[in-house]
Amino acid sequence: VTFRTRTFIGACLASFAALAVATLLIEQSLRRYLYDDIAASLLTEARLVGALLSGRPALADPDREADALGRLIHARVTFVAADGQVLGDSEVESGQLSSLENHAAREEIVQARQTGAGTAIRQSRTTGVETMYTAVSVKDSPIAYARVALPLTVVDERVSSLRRRALIGLGAGLVAALLLTWAASGLLNRRIRAIAEVAGRYKTGDFSQPARDHARDEIGVVADVLDDTARELGAKLGEMARERAHMAAILTGMVEGVVLVNAAGRLVLTNPAVRAMLRLPGTAEGCHYLEVVRHPDIAAQLAAVLAGGQPAPTEVHLDQDGRRVFAGHVVAVARERGGGAVLVLHDITDLRRADQVRRDFVANVSHELRTPLTAIRGYVEALSDDPTSPEARRFLEIISRHALRMERLVHDLLRLARLDARQEALDRADCAIAALVTAVEHDMQTLLAGRRQQIQTAIAPEAAVVSGDPAKLHDVLRNLVENASNYSPEDTAIDIATRREGEWLTLTVADRGPGIPEADLPRIFERFYRVDRSRTRDPGGTGLGLSIVRHLVELHGGRVTAANREGGGAVFTVRLPLGPVPA
């Protein structure tokens, strides 16, 4: 049943009730009014009749007199003697008067005897009709009481005619009222329907269109409240969505892995980083952490925190071959915020690797310095035991060689330290490659001549000049040529060539030595890394030369790589930018 029908039925019932009550009330008051009116006129008429009769000691034919008066006033007229005997009646034949009952006990007569006038309503025994009787006492006459009676059917007739008219009028009013109600309820219905529709939209989360019912009545107020609520809710939801988006952006962009577990141990939130680290399935959220977190240490930490403990951060090895190291921190979420725990995984692989490199470096330095130191100490002891030994000169030479090696080592180490700390600035100038080669050749004349090696140059005209620090490029070339000379046999050539590759100048230093084992190629630029010395003639290098070369080339924004050339020999390629130095 719709709101409208209900309102309408309610209005109908109310109207019917009002109509019924109104008719009843009107009828009643009308009846009373008519009764009063009839009673008053009957009394007047009775008094009149009484006045006509009084002072007439004898009446020839009282019944005829009654008939005449009755005709005149259109009412029944009865004359009653003091003893109650009916002396005349306008509606009873004179012959039948004697058969009439004694009227002394009639209510109106009793009243008239006591007060002079009396009125009564009852059903007439004579006519059988509801009748109003009014009697008055008459003085100085054989007729003690004159009575006038009127049947009340007149009243009923008038009342029913009035009722008919009232019903017609009220019925018309009712119809009009119902039509109005129908129209009004339709209007109301439309407004309520509009609000209900908007409320339905709000329910689905669409806050775009407000209710917009701005009437000042109760429905308008409801609509306004709904609007305000929706607006506020919409704003809050928007804010929440924005905050969620921010959080999602942060979590997605984070390198650290984050997992939020609720108090029941179920995964509430994971970010892409942690899904990759722990290899969680896409459907992990909602699962218990024990089902999806396969790493026992992390699971143990989560269990401890959820149980109220405060475990120390763990270090875990993830990745297929456990090569990546992660530090896992688990912290509890405050009980007021729902409890649970947050796991954060940091990738500390690089940190650990750097640590390892540093430790290896220190060990290497110590080892490299100890070897010559031990030798020097040994020979110094031998010399002090017997300074005049015939071998003294040889010992001194050995001591000097080791001291020189230590000096070179310390020199290279200091240089590397300076390069590491970026303490060496670039003094850029246009450097002619040919001039660099000539200078290096000049520096190494004795070494090259001693090993009967020649340098062959092939410098392309479009790759003859490069912008760089001449001293540093000289060191690069010198190191490479020195290695080429050291690691290749006597009587061979060292090839230096340049060519242009787009925005790069490529400089290659190639020799005809044994080359470098493939396995060692990626590592020879590392500090102290040397290819197995039993396989090559050890010229007493420090193992730092190529590290310095790489540093210097990278300082220029370039790259250095090593390879083996076809037909034997190693080839080192230095690529230097010709244009502006890339960052």
Q: What are 94's two structure tokens?
A: 């004179």
Place of tokens 């009545």: 217
Q: What are 122's two structure tokens?
A: 């009852």
- Comparing every residue's Cβ against ligand ADP, the nearest one is 541
Q: Which of 54, 126, 536, 573 binds ligand ADP (CB under 6 A)?
A: 536
Q: According to the binding rule CB under 6 A, does residue 368 interact with ligand ADP?
A: no
Q: According to the binding rule CB under 6 A, does residue 451 interact with ligand ADP?
A: no
Q: Which of 11, 277, 298, 546 binds ligand ADP (CB under 6 A)?
A: 546
| Helices (H), ranges, 54-143 | 62-73, 107-115
In the complex, minimum distance from the CB of residue 375 to ligand ADP, in angstroms, rounded to a whole number: 18
Would you say 112 and 185 are in contact if contact means Cβ atoms under 8 Å apart?
A: no
Among the residue ranges 157-165, 241-249, 413-421, 509-517, the one whose residues contact ligand ADP (CB under 6 A): 509-517
Of 301 and 483, the one with the shorter C-beta distance to ligand ADP is 483
Give the closest residue to 325 by CA, choosing from 342, 356, 348: 348
Q: Which of 545, 558, 576, 577 binds ligand ADP (CB under 6 A)?
A: 545
Of 531 and 576, the one with the shorter C-beta distance to ligand ADP is 531
Among the residue ranges 61-69, 416-424, 443-451, 538-546, the one whose residues contact ligand ADP (CB under 6 A): 538-546
Would you say 509 and 496 are in contact if contact means Cβ atoms under 8 Å apart?
A: yes
Distance CA 79, CA 148 (A): 9
Q: What are 404's two structure tokens?
A: 């020189």
> Coil, strand or helix: which one is 275?
helix
Of 106 and 478, the one with the shorter C-beta distance to ligand ADP is 478
Among the residue ranges 127-135, 144-152, 431-439, 479-487, the one whose residues contact ligand ADP (CB under 6 A): 479-487
In the complex, minimum distance from the CB of residue 480 to ligand ADP, in angstroms, rounded to a whole number: 8
Beta-carbon contacts of residue 234 (< 8 Å; ≥ 6 apart): 207
Q: According to the binding rule CB under 6 A, does residue 440 interact with ligand ADP?
A: no
Q: Which of 541, 552, 555, 558 binds ligand ADP (CB under 6 A)?
A: 541
Of 151 and 514, the one with the shorter C-beta distance to ligand ADP is 514
Among the residue ranges 49-57, 94-102, 270-278, 523-531, the one whose residues contact ligand ADP (CB under 6 A): 523-531
Q: According to the binding rule CB under 6 A, does residue 511 interact with ligand ADP?
A: yes
Q: Which of 324, 346, 530, 565 binds ligand ADP (CB under 6 A)?
A: 530
Q: Which of 542, 552, 558, 577 binds ligand ADP (CB under 6 A)?
A: 542
Q: According to the binding rule CB under 6 A, does residue 146 interact with ligand ADP?
A: no
Distance CA 360, CA 310 (A): 35
Q: Interface residues for ligand ADP in 482-501 (CB under 6 A)?
A: 483-484, 487
Q: How many residues bind ligand ADP (CB under 6 A)?
A: 18
Q: Which of 570, 574, 576, 577 binds ligand ADP (CB under 6 A)?
A: 570
Give the closest residue to 176 by CA, choosing from 1, 5, 19: 19
Helices 349-385 & 392-420 angle (0-180, nearest 10): 160
Give the closest residue to 173 by CA, choosing from 11, 7, 25, 10: 11
Q: Which of 513, 551, 556, 577 binds ligand ADP (CB under 6 A)?
A: 513
Query: Which amino acid, 464?
Result: A
> Coil, strand or helix: which one is 528?
coil
- For every residue of 417-478, DSSP letters joined together read HHHHTT------EEEEHHHHHHHHHHHTHHHHHHTT-EEEEEE-GGGSEEEE-HHHHHHHHH
Would you say 438 and 457 are in contact if contact means Cβ atoms under 8 Å apart?
A: no
In the complex, minimum distance from the CB of residue 524 to ligand ADP, in angstroms, rounded to a whole number: 4
Give the closest residue to 35 by CA, choosing from 132, 139, 102, 137: 132
Of 185 and 479, the one with the shorter C-beta distance to ligand ADP is 479
Q: According to the binding rule CB under 6 A, does residue 70 interact with ligand ADP?
A: no
DSSP 97: G
Which residues are near ligand ADP by CB under 6 A? 483-484, 487, 511, 513, 516, 524, 529-531, 536, 541-546, 570
